[in-house]
Amino acid sequence: MSLYIATLAEVKADLGISDTDDDAVLTRTLEGLQGRFEARCNRLFARAENVTEYFDGGTRALYVQRYPIESVASVIIDSDRVFGSEDALVEDDDYVLNQEQGTIIWSGVHGWPSYVVARAIQVVYTGGYVAAGTTPSAGQFPMPEGLRGAFLLQAGFEWRNRLNLGKQSVGAQGANVSLAPAKLLPEVESVLGPFVRM
């Protein structure tokens, strides 16, 4: 995993760190935080090309993991799971793409066919946000500033409080310690709200 919501340099500048002594530990911590953001939002943020995902039928829309969707290479329904190009569906005739929401909606009245076997719909697409510190090309989506700001806020809080974070109670002379899971700040939760995939 690498950093993509914010760069290591951005986090260090935000924390006022100028040396490289803690870079390895800080990077691992930030990678874990990125994973927590994605788990909380039930999606993947980093842009990736030619992602292949499989879906069941019987639903109105297919929800991809990485969005916004930049482009769709193919959508194929094949109960035999061969997924040959001759079976590819046509955008706007067979399905409609909602880039921002990361959905592919069946054009028919009743949704994606329910008669197909499990995992018999294949989608190959490019989607997600361009990594922080990288200039998006035409048609690509930059990392949202709100998401980046929430990441910097949570990263700063956790780094500054890393020695006590997660402690629920400390007994006499620090002998009794019970750990509580690290939680996202309320301000961060508020920013993440619109990014959550239900």
Q: Where are the alpha helices (DSSP H) in 78-131?
A: none
Mean pLDDT throughout 80-91? 91
Q: What does pTM read for this prediction?
A: 0.86
Backbone angles phi and psi of 83, in degrees to 5? 55, 50
Beta carbons of 86 and 76 less than 8 angstroms apart: no
Mean pLDDT throughout 16-29? 93
Residue type, 81: R
**Confidence category of residue 174, pLDDT binned at 50, 70, 90:** low
Residue type, 66: R
**Confidence category of residue 123, pLDDT binned at 50, 70, 90:** very high
pLDDT by residue (tens digit) across 153-163?
999 999 988 87
- For the chain, the straight-line distance linking the first and the last C-alpha, in angstroms and rounded, comes to 25
- pLDDT at position 1: 61
- pLDDT at position 117: 79
User: Rounded to an integer, what distance in angstroms lies between the CA atom of residue 101 and that of residue 107?
Assistant: 17
Apex 98 CA angle, 94 and 100, nearest 5: 165
Asked if residue 171 has pLDDT above 80, the reply is no
